[in-house]
Amino acid sequence: MAETIFSKIISGEIPCHRVYEDEQVLAFLDIFPLSEGHTLIVPKEPAETLDKLSDQASAAIGRVLPLLCRAVMQVTGATAYNVLQNNGEAAHQAVRHVHFHIIPKYDQASSHESGGLGIGWPAKKLDPERGKTLAQQLADAVGS
Amino acid sequence: MAETIFSKIISGEIPCHRVYEDEQVLAFLDIFPLSEGHTLIVPKEPAETLDKLSDQASAAIGRVLPLLCRAVMQVTGATAYNVLQNNGEAAHQAVRHVHFHIIPKYDQASSHESGGLGIGWPAKKLDPERGKTLAQQLADAVGS
């Protein structure tokens, strides 16, 4: 995998505002935050997208997510937040090394600017027959 | 914690289009999908938001995310996707039981409608001094 700004942060070649580190995971502030406290969590294992990450490295991120979310809420006072992980340019991935965002969302009563993640939600209703077929295909793919 | 549609799906009281299940995790199709293959992953442990979920339950979700992302890509042909987890009404949480979305993003060459998650990204530049202070506060909160 090609070097990225995140692999250089992990190796120490580029500095970061570090929040948390263990053997498998590094968390630091996004220097282009969507809101105050916007934090990134990256696996030390190099993988471009989540589907290419090992189960162990992904579990290690899962394990520290609640702790990091609590820290962000405690320090910023945010009561709402999004956890987002983008894969592929079409899905807004900017750095080709897996990263999870914790993005606080502030209401207007907060002293912070509102900001945060903008969400568009063009939901449709799932056709039940299509759902049945698709779920079976996915279950087969998981089991294969 | 109050019952939700997801706790009723977990207990079997309400049916779902099941994709994956183990002792700690259930994955099924969102019946109001943002795009073809939109899948939800929920912990069986009841928790309203990610900060209230146990590390173990969160790790269990982390562990199966790569597998489920691969299955969604394989079956739908999507090459880009977002993983999203919303906490709090202001952050677009609709059901008060932790859930991770896998939302495929299709380009115009795809046979699927484009759809998917709409993302607004009002980024600003982090002031380095503010970043230093904030990262230290967060690191202290993580360690406390």
Q: Mark yes or no for CB contact A81/B88 under 8 Å.
A: yes
How far apart CA A69 and CA A63 sit, in angstroms, is 11
Q: What is the pLDDT of residues B18-61, one digit of tens each?
A: 999 999 999 999 999 999 999 999 999 999 999 999 999 999 99
Is the pLDDT at B6 greater than 70, yes or no?
Answer: yes
Q: Mark yes or no for CB contact B87/A82 under 8 Å.
A: yes
Amino acid A125 reads K
pLDDT at residue B78, as a whole number: 94
How far apart CA B101 and CA B86 sit, in angstroms, is 9
Q: What is the pLDDT of residues B74-132, one digit of tens each?
A: 999 999 999 999 999 999 999 999 999 999 999 766 667 668 999 999 899 999 999 99
Q: Is there a contact between B52 and A66 (Cβ–Cβ < 8 Å)?
A: yes
> From the candidates B38, B99, B101, B112, which is the catalytic residue?
B99
Q: Mark yes or no for CB contact B33/A124 under 8 Å.
A: yes
Q: Look up tokens 């691969």; give the residue.
A: B70
Which pair of structure tokens corresponds to residue B94? Answer: 């609709």
Q: Does B67 touch chain A if contact means CB atoms closer than 8 Å?
A: yes
pLDDT at residue B115, as a whole number: 81
The model's confidence at residue A56, banded by pLDDT at 50, 70 and 90, is: very high
Annotation says B112 is catalytic: no
ipTM of this model?
A: 0.95
| Residues of A designated as active site | 99
The model's confidence at residue A2, banded by pLDDT at 50, 70 and 90, is: confident
Q: Is there a contact between B88 and A116 (Cβ–Cβ < 8 Å)?
A: no
Angle between helices B55-76 and A128-143 (to 10 degrees): 110
Which pair of structure tokens corresponds to residue A90? Answer: 């079409």
Residue B85 has, within 13 A of its CA and on its CB side, a CA count of 25
Q: Are strands B39-43 and B100-105 parallel, antiparallel or unpaired?
A: antiparallel
